């Protein structure tokens, strides 16, 4: 355990930031899960709406530093590819 006041403050700040980042990451995973569910059901309209929602969650998490911006971009690209493939196979 830290003895110095500034080290104690750092521990406190890290704990709070970790909790905030965990919440943001959970929101991203939930949005992606909803997209997956819509895609697996074959409901492409709902999947497209869910994809836009995922974009917002990923961008926000990247903006706040919960995930790296390149990681968010990679996730968005892969999700879009999955939707595109589903749309191609449906038509």
Per-residue pLDDT of the chain (91 residues; tens, 9 = 90+): 899 999 999 999 999 999 999 999 999 999 999 999 999 999 999 999 999 999 999 999 999 999 999 999 999 999 999 999 999 998 7
Residue 30 lies in a domain: no
Provide the domain limits for residue 65: 45-91
What was the pLDDT predicted at 56?
97
- Asked if residue 9 belongs to a domain, the reply is no
In a domain, 7, yes or no: no
What's the rounded Cα separation, in Å, for the pair 2 and 7? 6
Does residue 12 belong to any structural domain of this protein?
Answer: no
As for how many domains the chain has, the answer is 1
3, part of any domain: no
pLDDT of 90 reads 83
* Six token digits for residue 39: 């895609």
């Amino acid at each position: 355990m830290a003895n110095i006041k500034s080290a104690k403050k750092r521990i406190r700040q890290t704990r709070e930031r970790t909790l905030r980042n965990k919440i943001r990451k959970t929101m991203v995973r939930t949005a992606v899960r909803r997209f997956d569910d819509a895609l697996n059901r074959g409901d492409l309209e709902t999947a497209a709406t869910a994809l836009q929602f995922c974009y917002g969650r990923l961008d926000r998490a990247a903006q706040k530093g919960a995930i790296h911006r390149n990681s968010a971009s990679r996730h968005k690209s892969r999700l879009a590819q999955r939707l595109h493939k589903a749309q191609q196979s449906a038509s």
